[in-house]
Chain A
Amino acid sequence: MTGQEIMFIILALIAICCASLVIVLKRISHRVLSMAFCSFAIAGLYFLLRAEFLGIIQIMVYVGGLTVLFVFAVMMTDHRTTTFVPERSKVFKFVSFIGVGSLLSIMLIGILGMDLPAGTEPFIGTAEAIGLELYGNYVIAFLGVGILLLAALIGAIVIARKEADEQ
């Protein structure tokens, strides 16, 4: 086993463990923290694949941005009494188990049946290549995403304003 494979297994285990801890843990602050560690492990996987740019963006957006946003949202709301939903019935659990199981099996069949040709030259995802693609080929899609995010931001502000005015 090469060092790369060992690192992959360690990082993958951390990612999976932290992802399940997000569901298992009781306190919401611990959940947010384990989500941050999950993102860290995934960034590590990107680094292992030589996609350095993507790895850093993963850390910046998910750990530095999203997790802090989550913590703020949790802090602003009353988190002690929060339960997501009332206890579900047995039938509901059974149906959701079957649904998740079939989704997993379909994905596994798809992934295992996929035939990816092995690249001959090692690919390094440089920031320059990504920038040229993003602002060259996909510039309209990029602008579209920007407008969508702006609309979502303004919508969030309008909703928050309305609630603040009513109080």
Chain B
Amino acid sequence: MELMPMVLYAGVLLQLILAGVAAAILFERKVIGYMQLRTGPNRHGPWGILQTVADVLKLLIKEDIIPHAADRKVFVLAPIIAFVPSFAILATVSWSENLYAADLNIGVLYFIGLSSVTTLGVLMGGWSSNNKYALLGSMRGVAQMISYEIPLVLSIVGVVILVGSLNLRDIVFFQESIGLWLFIPQFLGFVVYMISAIAELNRSPFDLPEAESELVSGYHTEYSGFRMAFFMLAEYVYAIAISALATTIFFGGWLGPDFLPGEFWFLLKMCFFMFVWFWLRATLPRARVDHLMNFGWKVLIPLALLNIVITSIIKVWMG
């Protein structure tokens, strides 16, 4: 793509993602509300549609507080470092056969590599706050993110072996050619991916970095106003991005019946994954930190490795 359309694409995508995050938060509160036999937000606009808008407005006009003892520069920089990679990874997502930004031949690697930068933002935020809860939260968060990044990557390796390409679009074309979505032949990999994705996202039942009963609010305890909004934004954009990745590599991307455009099928599948995150949040209690670590290292990583071995054997055997 030329420079101008590229900038335009990025600008439009940013607006759409912001609207999408607002919708996702409303969706989350409604889903959890109905699961707990209440209606959820219903005061602002019909069906509570303006609830998130009101929340965001509140966060934006709130007083900006930087603690006196905080390391000012790092404190200001941390939310940006956390947010930028979560948006940058969306560049490789191919929304339909014709609508995509970058046809990168190492798309999967780009996705995983850049998202690991978010860890730095979380760590910097927690550390520069000069607060014990923030520090503990960020250390937990980083330990969890680093541990669960390994099974997340390993679970994708099975797909990469089958397809023989790191290009996200090639993965979808491969699923089109075999006429099967990859979550069926790669079911073990899919399960490992889903579990480690939730831990990567710091979502319930693995939301230990911000366990409010023990850590107040985790690594963003000292953040308020729009800086806090930035952390929340990063979290939700990341949730959308991980859903998009799951859709692309396991659920056939934009593939679907022909009577509706590919973008619609892509968004529908993405919404399904978002619903799964919210569903789990409403139903499962929080895991304990040592259980979480044991589960990651002793169960998920061996399972992911087993998946790679089986996939390689089948690939060599089938030729």
Residues of A within 8 A of B (CB): 3, 27, 29-30, 33, 36, 52-53, 56-57, 59-60, 63-65, 67-68, 71-72, 75, 126-127
Cβ contact within 8 Å between B114 and A59:
yes
Chain B, residues 105-120, CB within 8 Å of chain A (1/0): the string is 1100110111011011
Cβ contact within 8 Å between B166 and A127:
yes
Q: How many whole Å from B66's CB to the nearest CB in chain A?
A: 16
Residues of B within 8 A of A (CB): 3, 71, 73-74, 77, 104-106, 109-110, 112-114, 116-117, 119-120, 123-124, 127-128, 135, 139, 142, 146, 166
Cβ contact within 8 Å between B146 and A127:
no
Measured between beta carbons, the chain A residues less than 8 angstroms from B106 are: 52-53, 56, 126-127
Please name the 10 residue pairs, one residue from A and one from B, whose CB atoms are nearest each other, closest first. A64-B116, A60-B113, A56-B113, A56-B109, A59-B113, A71-B123, A127-B106, A63-B117, A52-B106, A68-B119
Q: How many whole Å from A68's CB to the nearest CB in chain B?
A: 5
Measured between beta carbons, the chain A residues less than 8 angstroms from B166 are: 127
Measured between beta carbons, the chain B residues less than 8 angstroms from A30 are: 73-74
Closest-by-CB residue of B relative to A58 is B113
Rounded to whole angstroms, the CA-CA distance of A15 and B127 in the bound complex is 25
Chain B binding surface, main DSSP class:
helix
Closest-by-CB residue of B relative to A25 is B73
Can you report 20 A-B residue pairs in the complex whose CB atoms are below 8 A from each other? A3-B3, A29-B74, A29-B124, A29-B128, A30-B74, A33-B124, A52-B110, A56-B113, A56-B114, A57-B113, A60-B113, A63-B116, A64-B119, A64-B120, A65-B116, A68-B119, A68-B120, A68-B142, A75-B127, A75-B135
Measured between beta carbons, the chain A residues less than 8 angstroms from B77 are: 33
Measured between beta carbons, the chain B residues less than 8 angstroms from A68 are: 119-120, 123, 142, 146
Measured between beta carbons, the chain A residues less than 8 angstroms from B120 are: 36, 63-64, 67-68, 71
Q: How many whole Å from A80's CB to the nearest CB in chain B?
A: 12
Rounded to whole angstroms, the CA-CA distance of A126 and B73 in the bound complex is 38
Question: Given A29-B71, A68-B146, A75-B127, A59 and B117 touching (CB < 8 A)?
Answer: yes
Rounded to whole angstroms, the CA-CA distance of A131 and B105 in the bound complex is 14
Q: How many whole Å from A134's CB to the nearest CB in chain B?
A: 15
Closest-by-CB residue of A relative to B160 is A127
Measured between beta carbons, the chain B residues less than 8 angstroms from A57 are: 113
Closest-by-CB residue of A relative to B77 is A33
Q: How many whole Å from B118's CB to the nearest CB in chain A?
A: 9
Q: How many whole Å from A127's CB to the nearest CB in chain B?
A: 5
Measured between beta carbons, the chain B residues less than 8 angstroms from A60 are: 109, 112-113, 116
Measured between beta carbons, the chain A residues less than 8 angstroms from B127 are: 29, 71, 75
Cβ contact within 8 Å between B110 and A56:
yes
Cβ contact within 8 Å between A52 and B74:
no
Closest-by-CB residue of A relative to B146 is A68
Measured between beta carbons, the chain B residues less than 8 angstroms from A75 are: 127, 135, 139
Measured between beta carbons, the chain B residues less than 8 angstroms from A27 are: 71
Measured between beta carbons, the chain B residues less than 8 angstroms from A59 are: 113-114, 116-117
Q: How many whole Å from B133's CB to the nearest CB in chain A?
A: 15
Q: How many whole Å from B148's CB to the nearest CB in chain A?
A: 14
Closest-by-CB residue of B relative to A71 is B123
Most buried by A among B3, B109, B146: B109
Q: How many whole Å from A32's CB to the nearest CB in chain B?
A: 9
Closest-by-CB residue of B relative to A126 is B105
Measured between beta carbons, the chain A residues less than 8 angstroms from B3 are: 3
Closest-by-CB residue of A relative to B78 is A33
Given A33-B77, A72-B123, A75-B135, 5 more pairs with CB closer than 8 A: A52-B105, A53-B106, A56-B114, A64-B113, A64-B119
Cβ contact within 8 Å between B105 and A127:
yes
Measured between beta carbons, the chain A residues less than 8 angstroms from B135 are: 75
Q: How many whole Å from B125's CB to the nearest CB in chain A?
A: 11
Closest-by-CB residue of B relative to A3 is B3
Rounded to whole angstroms, the CA-CA distance of A93 and B203 in the bound complex is 53
Rounded to whole angstroms, the CA-CA distance of A33 and B80 in the bound complex is 13
